[in-house]
Amino acid sequence: MISSHFQVVLLLLVVATTTAGFLSCLILYRYTKFRGSRTRPLAMRCVYQWGMAFFMGVSILSIDWAMGDKAPLQITPLSEESGRIGFANLALCWGLLCLSGFMVQRVVRVIVRPTATPEGWQLQHARTVDTAARRDGQVGETPAKLRIAR
Amino acid sequence: MLSDAVPERFGLMLLCSLIGLFGGGIRAALRKDPQINPVRDVMTQAAASGFAAFLAAAIMLDRLDSQRQYLMLFVSGIVGWAGASVLDTAARLVTNWIDRYIQKLDNGDDPKPPASGGTNT
């Protein structure tokens, strides 16, 4: 059994680590905006954004869990789960939620603002090639450019 | 059990100050005007709002009933956000004043151009 003092040190370590992670993501988010680049740094903004949300949630959940019965949210440790919601499950769900949020945002960004992401550029290029091929009457065939190269 | 070692008041104060820190940090990240040093800017804003929320939580824990946890969390978040705003305004006022003062000194030190029509004898 771990002593209470060690558990407090562990909790403060978790809080410090998650706060540092949150601030790092925050600075990187701000820095990419500051640079104003249209390529990879701007596309990484949503990673930092969802990273912030993840660290923030985990930090709040860990303190709430440490407060036990006096906490605003009734979260219990994994060993004491008996019908109530557990910390481990909640943290895992929160992580998956942030990950899925990041993925959905990337997809939406590529569709809505294709020029802002490298994936969007590739999509636009593929569409241009496809349109040119359709105009030449070569639907489903190798694009003209590649055939000439061959 | 960890809750035996972490008192309720300590947990609430930590939770409130972290919520203030997160609020101030997000506010700093979402600002429109460009800053010269994003690292210093974000760190200062987040730390100031975290401290403001911590103070607010300490005062409320002293004055209010400890059962009103949700009210304390909400007010701490608001105070953290407002603390970052106050710091932002104060910093802008001070930097503007310094800029004006430096400009005034520069204008005073500049040699005046010679009057037109004068002779260089």
Contact between A70 and B8 using a beta-carbon 8 Å cutoff: yes
Cα separations in angstroms, B77 against A91, B56, B108, B116: 22, 9, 47, 63
Q: pLDDT tens digits for A26-73?
A: 888 887 765 555 555 666 788 888 999 999 999 988 888 888 777 777
CB pairs under 8 A between A and B: 87
- The model's confidence at residue B109, banded by pLDDT at 50, 70 and 90, is low
Reduce the DSSP state of residue A76 to 3 states and report it: strand
pLDDT at B10: 82
Q: Do residues B2 and A8 touch, judged by C-beta distance below 8 A?
A: yes
Please tell me which of the candidates B8, B19, B73 has its beta carbon nearest to residue A67: B8
- The closest of A47, A57, A58, A63 to A12, measured between CA atoms, is A63
Two tokens, residue B32: 């429109």
E strands, B8-105, are: none
> How much is the pLDDT for A75?
73
Give contacts of A4 with chain B, Cβ < 8 Å: 1-2, 4-5
Whether B42 and A26 lie within 8 Å, measured CB to CB: yes
CA distance B21 to B45: 8
Q: Best-predicted range by mean pLDDT among A50-59, B49-58, B62-71?
A: A50-59
Q: Which residues of B touch A (CB under 8 A)?
A: 1-6, 8, 11-12, 14-15, 18-19, 21-22, 25-26, 28-29, 34-35, 38-39, 41-43, 46, 69-70, 73
Render pLDDT for A73-104 as a digit per residue (tens, 0 to 9).
777 655 555 556 677 788 888 999 999 998 89
User: What angle do helix axes A45-66 and A4-35 make, rounded to 10 degrees?
Assistant: 160
ipTM of the complex: 0.70
Instruction: For residue A30, give the nearest of B92, B46, B26, B77 by alpha carbon.
Output: B26
Within 8 A of B43 by CB-CB distance, chain A residues are: 23, 27
> B75: Cβ–Cβ under 8 A, 6 or more apart, which residues?
B56, B60
State whether residue A150 is helix, strand or coil: coil
Name the residue type at position B65: D
